[in-house]
Structure 1
Amino acid sequence: MKRLLILLALLVGANVHAQKFDGLAATPQMGWNSWNSFACDINEQLIRDTADAMVKLGLKDAGYQYVNIDDCWHGQRDKDGFIHPDPQRFPSGMKTLADYVHSKGLKLGIYSDAGATTCGGKPGSRGHEYQDAKTYADWGVDYVKYDWCDTKGLSAPGAYTTMRDAIRAAGRPMLLSMCEWGDNKAWEWGKDIGHSWRTTADIYPCWNCELNHDAFSRLGVLRILDRQAGLRKYAGPGHWNDMDMLEVGMGMSGDEDRAHFSIWAMMASPLILGNDLRKMPESTRSILANKDVIAISQDQAGIQAWKFFDDGRLEYWARPLANNEWALMVLNRGEQAVNLSYDWKAHFISDEMSKREVDFKKAVYGWRDIWGGKSGDTGKKLEASVAPHSVLLLHLKTKG
């Protein structure tokens, strides 16, 4: 009865004009999620070990902070409708697990669904939004990934607004990651509701493919990138276009992994790792912990990149950074290496959205190749070779 009275107080006190918690995701969120590597095969020891690995491997120091439990952690609802974790998988309970993750200087994320059941067939939050948000707050949860399975007849803006308001009523700041796969164009209405929204179907660890299932498809890196056209104007501090979790270390080549990570950083997408951190080789760790790529992702200006030039073999992408700096990415989508001789002075870069521009005829910038380590300046042509399925990623600063 006491718990029902608490719930009633939450419902009565809920502000119909509630706002999401500000101050979260001022830059794209960084963390790890269990789904890509483990799907439903999860338990509390995995989460503890992952938190340990995140600290030991230097990923916490690199900026990753969320340890997110995806689908299938759920047990049953009790007689009052409150959800409990699976007692076999999470015998110590979520509060104890959250305390452990917090003791490592990290934050805990959890998963639910706007429907009556989750994508994995577990209890969803439909009709229990305020109960679930209060439960998560009591556990010490910091991040809620909210999925979109079993939602026939629901309004996406309405369902996500309800969970936003429930989180606000629960009183604990929790980042709300909206996962409706872009089906309802959340970028058009989600800015004041969630801190990020998925823009496409789920990712698959391949360069340029689409894996078709009976009811849905999974997309490779380039297929997801291509679906971002026209969306950059919706992104900014506190509200990001989410291109899904990272597949770095999940079977693609080293060049593809570096390109994948670079693209997500340039596009200001959340950086949520999907690999098994407990078994991660140094070659993968060095990509995911690259401080210069992460600095682009986490740039305070919060401006998403755009493609400003395509010569038919290579694509040129620019991202304005704070302090009059720039990031430039040259993408080779093809199957052969491409030699480039890029005349900086021939390309005036202008961004109507951010009102940022650079004229290399008037200003000389020094550049540094983040992956290759070379450096130079824009007073001379850029001479380089870009491997297939790879990128050249440059950080530009004014000289003088």
Structure 2
Amino acid sequence: MLSLVSSAFAQGNNYAQNYHKFDGLALTPPMGWNSWNKFACDIDEKIIREVADAIVSSGMRDAGYTYINIDDCWHGQRDSLGFIHADPVKFPSGIKALADYIHSKGLKIGIYSDAGSQTCGGRPGSRGYEFQDALTYANWGIDYLKYDWCNTESLNAEGAYKTITAALRKAGRPIVLSICEWGDNKPWEWAEPIGHLWRTTGDIYNCFDCIKDHGTWKAFGVLAILDMQDGLRKYAGKGHWNDPDMLEVGNGMPQNEDRAHFAMWCMLAAPLIAGNDPRQMSKETLQILTNKEVIAVNQDTLGIQGFKYATKDSVETWLKPLAGGDWAVCFLNRAKTPASIQFDWQEKTIFDELSQRELNAKDHTYQLKNLWTGKKSGSTAKPLRANIPAHDVLMFRLSAK
């Protein structure tokens, strides 16, 4: 017996798994579109193709939205060998043909599964089939996987996500892994080596300042989710992002609230995953989603999540250090009434320990540009005085040069 054990160890462990995500992906927060917020389970290949076309024709692709992500309810059944197939009614051409179409548009494709036995929508989950599913996704040409957390009886979250990461690595195709366990198991503490982004909260709800109680779970409005990001910025960076959930821009909130929602997600260095219907969006929605200078704050190569610097009455002041010595500054009015602000740039030097960056308007004058109007707005030589409408933002880029 001893000789057999020694022989086995001498051969090495041929079954060791690689639990480390693919490097070099999501070096800035991922940008794209996901089907869930608008369509939920009412999806099919016609809708996905039309959305991909609209993402291109509207200019969203050129603004950075490259992932077309199919969420829950695309699944059919598993075959006799356990391999998953798409719903033959909703996706008669199959996911591979759809992936080829999306790739032909200069876009990438994402798919959805679940660590449990069933998805949240009651379709086949990946539990026990992780390596088969990963191989299937690789063969289909998938670029992004959102991996949910429903029906995960007794599973350990870190272990379950390590398993799907190992499966993706074994399949060999570089795929962005979006960890979606709603922040219940504090993924920010363990997920950096495993996934490229992780949800920090439960589902978003198309409301600026409210919480929707579903009984066994709650959905959160924009401000509620924003408040839940407190203390998490130190965990985010290139290739590993806090995910406060997908965007609700264009799904019914007024323009001012959509603008504030989008601005704050950009300040958070959050993934920008649109959740509207790009085939039927208004001019105002498109302008918000494709504001290149606001997007540039989100996609900044320094890769630092913004932080709340101060609160006075209903107005919060948020700062985000940017590459090259620039800063983004966003004033958020949480109230239902307009607010007046006065901000003296030279009052104190602001130092961010996380990025080791300093905003020193006493010794250096920064030029201000209003990122929503596109207009130059003076400099930090004089205090800022402005009015901010209800549930809206005032957002600047401070240029060091």
Q: Do they fold alike, i.e. is TM over 0.5?
A: yes
Q: Which residue of 1 aligns with 2:378?
A: 376
SS in 2 for 1:241: strand
Mapped to 2, the partners of 1:14 and 1:93 lie a distance apart of 32
Equivalent residue runs for 1:23-38 within 5 Å: 23-38=24-39
Q: Is residue 323 from structure 1 mapped to residue 324 from structure 2 by the alignment?
A: yes
Alignment pair present for 1:357 and 2:358:
yes
1:267-299 deviation line (CA, Å, top 9, x unaligned): 001000000011011110010000001100100
Structure 1 partner of 2:289 = 288
Q: Which amino acid aligns with 2:52?
A: A
Task: For 1:210 and 1:44, locate their aligned partners in 2 and report how far apart those are by CA, in whole Å.
Answer: 33
Report deviation, 1:15.
Answer: 4.2
CA RMSD of aligned residues (A): 1.0
Query: Which 4+ stretches in 1 moved above 4 angstroms?
Result: 12-15
Report the equivalent of 1:333.
334
* Distance in structure 1 (CA, Å) of the matches to 2:379 and 2:57: 37
**Counterpart secondary structure, 1:286:** helix
Distance 1:14 1:37, change over 3 A: farther
Q: Find the counterpart in structure 1 of residue 220 from structure 2.
A: 219
Q: Which amino acid aligns with 1:308?
A: Y
Matched, 1:84 2:62: no
Asked whether 1:39 is paired with 2:34, we answer no
In structure 2, what is the Cα distance between the partners aligned to 1:99 and 1:49?
14
| Distance in 2 between residues matched to 1:207 and 1:397, nearest whole Å | 30
In structure 2, the residue matched to 1:110 is: 111
Alignment of 1:244-283 (within 5 A): 244-283=245-284
Contact 2:115 2:160 in 1 (8 A): yes
- In the alignment, is the contact (CA less than 8 A) between 2:19 and 2:163 conserved in 1? no
Q: Give the distance between the partners of 2:359 and 2:294, measured in 1 at CA.
A: 21
Correspondence for 1:393: 395
State the AA in 2 paired with 1:380: K
Q: Is the 8 A contact 2:202 2:220 kept in 1?
A: yes
Residue 6 of structure 1: aligned partner: none
Q: Distance in 2 between the 1:311 and 1:40 partners? A: 43
Q: Please state whether the residue corresponding to 1:345 is helix, strand or coil.
A: coil
Asked whether the 8 Å contact 2:144–2:178 carries over to 1, the reply is: yes
- Equivalent position amino acid for 1:389 in 2: H
Give the drift of 1:230: 0.4
Cα distance between partner residues in 1 of 2:374 and 2:139: 47
1:171 and 1:345, CA in 2 relative to 1: closer, same or farther beyond 3 A?
A: same
* Alignment coverage as a number of residue pairs: 388
Cα distance change on mapping 1:131 and 1:59 into 2, 3 Å = same
Per-residue Cα deviation, 1:246-279 (whole angstroms, up to 9, x for no partner)? 0001111111000000000000010000000110
Give secondary structure in 1 for the equivalent of 2:346.
Answer: helix
User: What is the CA-CA distance between 1:173 and the residue it aligns to?
Assistant: 0.5
The question of whether the paired residues in 2 share the 8 Å contact of 1:15 and 1:165 is answered with no
Distance 1:378 1:56 in 2: 39
Q: Secondary structure at the match of 1:158?
A: helix
Question: In the alignment, which residue of structure 1 is the partner of 2:10?
Answer: none
CA contact (8 A) 1:130 1:166 kept: yes
In structure 1, runs of 5+ residues without a counterpart are 1-11
- 1:18, CA displacement in angstroms? 3.8
What residue identity is the alignment partner of 1:383?
A: R
Q: Which residue of 2 aligns with 1:202?
A: 203
- Rounded to whole Å, the distance in 1 between the matches of 2:49 and 2:24 is 27
Return the letter of the residue paired with 2:395: L
Deviation at 1:106, TM superposition (A): 0.2
Q: Kindly indicate whether residue 316 of structure 2 is the aligned counterpart of residue 342 of structure 1.
A: no
- Please give the alpha-carbon distance, in whole angstroms, between the structure 1 residues aligned to 2:19 and 2:204: 32
Which residue identity does 1:263 align to in structure 2? M
Verify: 1:313 aligned to 2:324, yes or no: no
The answer to whether the 8 A contact 1:339-1:385 is kept is yes
Instruction: Confirm or deny that 1:303 pairs with 2:304.
Output: yes
Is the 1:13–1:169 contact (alpha carbons within 8 Å) kept by the matching residues of 2? Answer: no
What SS does the aligned partner of 1:396 have? strand
Deviation per residue, 1:111-139 (Å, 9 max, x gap): 00000000000000000000000000000
**1: CA distance, partners of 2:342 / 2:274:** 35
CA distance in 2, matches of 1:18, 1:193: 6
**How many angstroms does 1:348 deviate by?**
2.0
Q: CA deviation at 1:354?
A: 1.2
Equivalent residue letter for 1:265: C
- Distance (whole Å) between structure 2 residues aligned to residue 123 and residue 393 of structure 1: 44
Q: Which runs of 5+ in 2 are unaligned?
A: 1-12
Q: Does structure 2 conserve the Cα–Cα contact (< 8 Å) formed by 1:14 and 1:165?
A: no
Asked whether the 8 Å contact 2:96–2:141 carries over to 1, the reply is: yes
Following TM superposition, by how much is the alpha carbon of 1:349 offset from its aligned partner in structure 2, in angstroms?
1.2
Q: Which residue does the alignment assign to 1:188?
A: 189
**Deviation at residue 339 of structure 1 after TM alignment:** 1.5
CA contact (8 A) 1:15 1:169 kept: no
Whole-angstrom distance in 1 between the partners of 2:74 and 2:321:
40
Structure 1 vs Structure 2: percent identity of aligned residues? 59
The offset of 1:17, in angstroms, is: 3.3
Counterpart in the other structure of 1:96: 97
Query: Which residue does the alignment assign to 1:20?
Result: 21
> Whole-Å Cα distance in 2 between the matches of residues 196 and 356 of structure 1?
24
What TM-score comes out, normalization by structure 1 length? 0.96
**What TM-score, normalized to structure 2?**
0.95
In structure 2, what is the Cα distance between the partners aligned to 1:14 and 1:377?
61
Deviations 1:371-398 (A, max 9, x none): 1334210001112111110111100112
SS of the residue corresponding to residue 100 of structure 2 reads helix
Q: Per-residue deviation at 1:347? A: 3.2
Is contact 2:18–2:169 with CA below 8 Å preserved after alignment? no
